[in-house]
A and B are shown apart, each in its own frame.
Chain A
C-alpha cells in the first residue's frame, strides 16, 4: 500500500486500516512503506498520534521504524526525542535502535552524543563495526583525530574488522594536517592493509595519494602504474619484494601443511600412515624436484584428447630444460584402458618420476608436501585452486602464507590453446610495501570483479623527492 502524502486524521487512518486486508499488521506495513518511500515525517507523526490515541501506547517496533525514517531524513531533534521517549519507556534498548540513533546523531552537530551512546552500548554488548564506523567518521570529520584513532584501536582490539569507509575517512580528513604522530598512525593503517593482504579500491587509493601529496613539507609524489612481470616499478625503477617466504615462514608453512592438511583430524581421511610413509621415503630418496605435476588434473586439460596424451604433452613440455619432474597420480592410471595406454605411461616414466597413490587417497596433499620438501625453487602444476586445502589450515596467518606461497609457486595452464602456454608464477609479492621513501600500494578498480585468488595488477607508486 502506498503511504499517504499528507498527515491524516484519525478517522482517515481508521478507514485505511479497515480497508487493509490484515488490520493487525497495518501500522507495521505502513511504516515499512514509509521508510521505503521516504515519506514526509509529518505523515508518520500523524499515524503515531493516531496509534497513541487509540491504544494509549506505541509498540517498540513502530518506534524503531519511525526512528529509521528520522535517521533517513536527518531529523536530529526528532531522533533525540524518540530516543528520550524510548529511554523512559524501556529499560534497555536493543542493538537495532542503538545503531539507528548512533548513525543519526553522528551525522549531526550533536555527534558527541553518539559517543556517549556508544559507551552505553558497550555496557550491554559488543558494539558493531558500523557503530564504530559512525563514531570514527564523526570524530574525524570534526578533526578530532586523536579521538578517532582511539576508537579505531579499541575496535581492532575487539577483533572487529574496520570498513574501507573508516580507513578512507582517516586519510580524507587528515589531508594537509601536520604531525608526526598522525603520520605514524596513518602509516599504521597502510601496514594493517599489508598484514591482512587487503587491497584498497580506486577511490580509497585516491584518498591515500592525495593525503601523501598534501603532507606539508613531505614532497611526496604519487603515480598510477602497473608493475612489470619482472617486479620492477616503471616509475621509480624500484624492485618490489619478491614472493619468497622467509626461512621461518617457509618452515612454519610446511609444518602446518603436514599437520593440518595431510594428517588433519585423522590421517586415514586423506591417505593412510603406511602410504604417507612410503611417499616420504620415495621423496627423500629422489630430492629435490624442480616441478611437481598433478597428473590427474593435468590429464583433463583438453577433454577431447586421451587423458594420458594430455599428460604426455605436459611432461614433454616441462621436461625440456633438464628439469627434474615428479608426477603424482593414482594407481588406476597404471591399468591399461582407453584413456591410459600402457606404452605411453612407460615412456613418460623415463622422463619423470612417478608416484601412484591409492585410488581413494587424495593426491593434492602429496603434491603440496613434495613441493614444499623440495625447497623454494620448486614449482607445482595444477589448475586446482587448492581452496579446500587452504581451508584445512587452522589460522588466518598461515592461510595468508599459503596464498602467498601458492602465488609464487603454482603454474597453471590456460585451457584450449594449442600452444602450451604457461601462466607464470608471480615473482613479486602483491602487498602494500614500503622502503621508507617509497610506498607501493596495489589497488583494485571498484567495479572490477576480483576473486580471492586474483591479485590486482594496478599499483600506486608514491615516492619522496
Chain B
C-alpha cells in the first residue's frame, strides 16, 4: 500500500510536465469520477503522459492518495468523548486560521465548553490565543537575552563578574530589609489605606484575577515608597476567590506580608468620621490630600461598567465620598474615569509625599487625556490664533474671546 502510494505520487508529479497550456480539453480526458480506483488512476496517467495541458484535477488525486490509511484509522476510532471532540473542533478551527491556542489544558477546555454562547467561546479562545502568543514571545526574548549575556560574559573576565554578582545580591537583600523596616514602621505609625474586598459577587472570575494582580502591584509599589501606607484589606474572607488568587501570586510569602488583612468591615476598625470612600461616581471632588483621614479604595475591576456600585456601599454606610479631580487638572480625552488600583496607589503615594496634584496625576494613563489643563489651553489658543489669522482675518479677537468663555464654562460645569 505504502509503496503503491509513493509510486502514484511520483507518477502524478512527473506526468504533468509544464507545457504551453491549451485549456478546455481536460474535462474530456479526465472524467470527474470520485471513485477512481488506484489502477485506473495509474492507467490514465500513463495514457496521457506528455500532455500539453495542465491537469487541473491532479490535486484531487494527490489529496486522495496516501490518505487511505488515515481514513481507515479514523473509521476505527470509537465514539469520542465530548472533551476530545471539542479538542478536535478546536484543531480544525486552528487549521482554518481562526485565533485559537495551539495547546489547551483540560481545565481550559472545560471552561471553554461551559461558555454560554458562541461569541463567549470565541472570546475565550482569542484570550487564550493571545496569552499563548505573549508567552512565546517572552520566552524567545529571554533566550535572546541569555545569549547576549553569555556573549558579554565571555568578553569580561570571570573574577570581576562574580564580585559584581555578589554585590548585587547583597544590595538587593539589603534593600529588601530596608523596605521591610519601613513598611513595618508604617504598620505602627503610618497612615492607613483601606482596600474594600467586598466586591467578589460583582465580578467575574477573570475580573477577580485582574483585581488581585493590580493589588499585588499596588502592594509592591507601596513597599518601595519612601513613606508607605499601612495597607488594610477589609471584608476579606479566607475562603474567597480573592484569597485563592492571592495565593497564586504570593505563595508562602502571603503570611509574611506586612499588611493588615481582616474580615471586619472598615467601619468596625476605624471611626466613621475619619473614613473617605474614593469612587469615581462621587459628586464630591477631592481638593487636598488629608493626612488624618483614612481613604478607602474599592478592590474592583469592572469591565462591564457598573456605575454606582461603590457609591452605593458608601451611601449605605453613611460614609463621606470623594473622586479625584481629574476634570480639574486634565483635559480628558477618552476612557472611563475609574483608574486601576495600582494607578490609584501611585497617585495617593505621590499626594502623600508631595501634595502636588500635577505630579500625582502623571500616573493617569496618557491615552486618557490630552494634557494638563494649563498647557493645552495655551497651545490650543496658539493654533486657534493661527487658524483665525489665516481664515478670518479681523475676527480673531472675537473668536478667541468666545473660545475662552466656552472653555471656562466647560470647566465650571464639571
Contact = CB atoms under 8 A, between A and B. Distances in A.
Nearest to B315: A268
B352 interface: no
Given A6-B23, A92-B89, A268-B316, A45 B56 contact: yes
Contacts of A28: 97
A81 B308 contact: no
Contacts of A359: 283
A347 interface: no
A359 B315 CA distance: 13
A97 B98 CA distance: 13
A42 interface: yes
A268 B313 contact: yes
B59 A45 contact: yes
Interface string A358-376: 0110000000000000000
A10 interface: yes
A53 B23 contact: no
A61 B309 contact: no
Contacts of B316: 266, 268, 272
A93 B91 CA distance: 10
A9 B19 contact: yes
A53 B92 contact: no
Given A57-B63, A125-B89, A84 B23 contact: no
**Secondary structure at chain A's binding surface: helix, strand, loop or mixed?**
helix
A124 B80 CA distance: 11
B308 A51 contact: no
A93 B92 contact: yes
Most chain A beta-carbon contacts within 10 A, residue among B32, B57, B311, B315: B315
Interface of B is mostly: helix
Contact of A266 (B67, B88, B312): B312
B96 A88 contact: no
A323 B97 CA distance: 66
Contacts of A51: 59
B43 to A, nearest CB: 20
Contacts of B34: 80-81, 84
A52 B21 contact: no
A81 B32 contact: yes
Interface stretch (B10-18, B157-165, B185-193, B241-249): B10-18
Contacts of B293: none
A77 B202 CA distance: 55
B89 A7 contact: no
Contacts of B55: 49
A84 B64 CA distance: 9
Interface string B35-56: 0000000000000000000111
B312 A58 contact: no
A282 interface: no
B54 A58 contact: no
Given A64-B96, A272-B315, A88 B88 contact: no
Nearest to A11: B18
Interface in B75-100: 77, 85, 88-89, 92-93, 95-97
B32 A89 contact: no
Interface in B107-144: 118
Interface of B: 9, 12-13, 16, 18-19, 21, 23, 32, 34, 54-60, 62-64, 66-67, 70-71, 74, 77, 85, 88-89, 92-93, 95-97, 118, 202, 283, 307-309, 311-313, 315-316
List of 3 A-B pairs having minimum Cβ-Cβ separation, nearest first: A268-B312, A52-B59, A60-B95
Interface of A: 6-11, 28, 42, 45-46, 48-49, 51-53, 56-61, 64, 77, 80-81, 84-85, 88-94, 96-97, 124-126, 265-270, 272, 359-360
8 contacts: A28-B97, A49-B59, A58-B59, A60-B96, A61-B96, A125-B89, A267-B312, A360-B315
Given A89-B67, A89-B70, A268-B311, 8 more contacts: A7-B56, A9-B18, A9-B54, A42-B23, A48-B59, A51-B59, A53-B12, A94-B93
